[in-house]
Amino acid sequence: MRPCAFALSFVVIGCAQKPLESAVTVSPEATRFFEDYVRSDASSQDTLPIFLEACGGDFRALRMVFTDYERFGSGDNEAWGDVPDVILREAGDHLYAEFLTTVDTDTRWSSLRWLGPPGSTLFDEADLRHSFPLTSRIQQIEFAKFASDNPQLKKPGKARTATPRKPSD
C-alpha cells in the first residue's frame, strides 16, 4: 500500500461505510444557490435534483457531479468554484471525506481542487481546516502528492497564486 493511500484511509477512520439512504434535506440557501447555478450556468435543468442529492451525501450523485463536467460544469471556473464548497457544507465533513476515499485520483482531485482559496468565495483556508478537518487533511495530502510530482512548484521564488492544476487541464 502506498503511503498516501494509507494516510487517506487513516484520515477517515470512523466514517460511515455507505452514504445516507434517507430523504435529502438541503438548506434553503444551498437550494437557491443550485437553482441559480443551474438556471445560469449548467447545461440542463435536470441537473438540479442530482446537485441536491450530492448535497445530501449520495455517493452516486457526488461521482456524477465531479466526473461529468460537460453536464454539471459551467465552463466558467468562477461560477464552478463555489460548487464543491456548497456540497461540502451540506454533506458534512465525514460524508465528503468518506466519498473522497472511495473514488479514483482524478475524481478526488476534481472534488478537492476548488475547496478553500483561491477557488472559494465562501470560506478561507483556516475555516476549511477548522470546520472540515478530515477533508482538509485529505486535500493537504493530495496537494503535497501533486507538488512532489511537479518539482517546478517547489522552485524558490515561484509564487503559488493558484490552486495546482493537473497537467491535462
Q: How far is Cα 58 from Cα 50, in angstroms, rounded to an integer?
A: 9
Q: At what angle do helices 59-67 and 105-112 cross, to 10 degrees?
A: 80
Q: Which of 96, 73, 83 shows the shortest CA–CA distance to 169?
A: 73
Classify residue 126: in a domain, yes or no.
Answer: yes
At 120 the pLDDT is: 56
At 31 the pLDDT is: 94
- Farthest-apart Cα atoms in the chain, separation: 51
Overall number of domains in the chain: 1
Classify residue 2: in a domain, yes or no.
Answer: no
Asked if 95 contacts 68 with a C-beta cutoff of 8 angstroms, the reply is no
Residues of the chain with pLDDT under 70: 1-24, 41-43, 116-123, 150-169
Classify residue 10: in a domain, yes or no.
Answer: no
Classify residue 163: in a domain, yes or no.
Answer: no
For residue 145, the tally of other CB atoms under 10 A from its CB is 17
What global pTM score does this model have? Answer: 0.72
Classify residue 61: in a domain, yes or no.
Answer: yes
- Rg of the chain taking only CA atoms, in angstroms: 16
At 98 the pLDDT is: 96
Q: For residue 100, what are the domain limits? A: 28-149
At 53 the pLDDT is: 96
Q: Measured between alpha carbons, how far is residue 123 from residues 6, 102, 137, 140, 169 in Å? A: 28, 25, 16, 16, 25
Classify residue 168: in a domain, yes or no.
Answer: no
Classify residue 162: in a domain, yes or no.
Answer: no
At 154 the pLDDT is: 54
Q: Which of 106, 115, 57, 105 shows the shortest CA–CA distance to 83?
A: 115
At 106 the pLDDT is: 87
Classify residue 81: in a domain, yes or no.
Answer: yes
